[in-house]
Amino acid sequence: MVATPVDATGDGRPARRQLLRGLVGAAAGATALGLASRSPARADAPPARRHRGMPRPAVTGAFARRDFKWLPITDQKAALTFDCGAGAQGAEAILRTLWDQRLPATFFMTGRFAADNPALARYIARRYPVGNHSMTHPSFPTITPQRRAEEVQSAADAIETAIGRPSEALFRFPFGLRTRPCITEVNAAGYVPVKWTVDTAGWKGTIGGASTATVVDRTLQALRPGAIVLMHLGATPEDHSAVDATALPDLIDAIRTREYGFTTLRGLLAAR
């Protein structure tokens, strides 16, 4: 549950929307850090503080050598996840929908996204868990182990600089591509890899046939207890559409119609 901010507007929505617009504007080059610094902290306790460069404990046991496609739960709950790397388009609509409906979610940021959009990254991190999505979004199987390690650590540093604390110990491979050695390396770096049950494919844009209807249909076909739903911030370059942002309210309604609730990916960390 997310804490509700107290402000002079009553329920806080007009001020919150103005703040979101400012933060998305910051992603395009405007400065919104003064506003962001007044944002309320989320209700969840943040992760334990680590000093920069201090290694995370390696992932071992039942959670090692796995790239989770769904949460190991039996409750009828789904986890909404958002990859942040292509741009900030759609961020205002997505964050407004999640906040207005008091829904949990998890965001995976590239280090480049966090560095380019620090005010927006901090705003997101004050409300939702943030995971590591590499620094520059390369295909991990095609690069060297040294480069993979650099991608993970550089992203960790950039995210921590942007949001003021370490990310969660969650990692999502770019494009979902990985090999067993890739997973082993990420585990050794202290991260639990998380894939997805269903990709809404909103990133294809309207030019690629994506729509609210296709986003909803793809998700409902794959819905199961613990389902992890992949969506994206950013717009499709060819037509500038942000289908996931547009489709999110209808998708939430459709999932609820199936009598499902929502959760974050923190359960993977708690169960380690």
CA 195 to chain centre: 12
d(CA 23, CA 21): 5
For the CA atoms of 250, 254, 260, 263, the dihedral, rounded to the nearest 10 degrees, stands at -20
51 annotated active-site: no
3 state DSSP class of 227:
strand
137 annotated active-site: no
d(CA 153, CA 135): 8
Helices (H), 103-191: 111-116, 118-125, 145-163, 180-188
Select which of 67, 83, 199, 244 is catalytic. Answer: 83
First to last CA, the chain: 22
d(CA 270, CA 257): 29
Please say whether the beta carbons of 65 and 249 come within 8 A.
Answer: no
Structure tokens at 38: 């007044």
Q: Where are the beta strands (DSSP E) in the chain?
A: 77-84, 106-109, 130-132, 170-171, 192-193, 198-199, 227-232, 261-263
Select which of 67, 133, 137, 232 is catalytic. Answer: 232
Q: Which contiguous run of DSSP H or E holds residue 9?
A: none
Count of CA atoms in the C-beta half-sphere (13 A) of 181: 9
d(CA 90, CA 83): 12
Which active-site residues does the annotation give? 83, 232
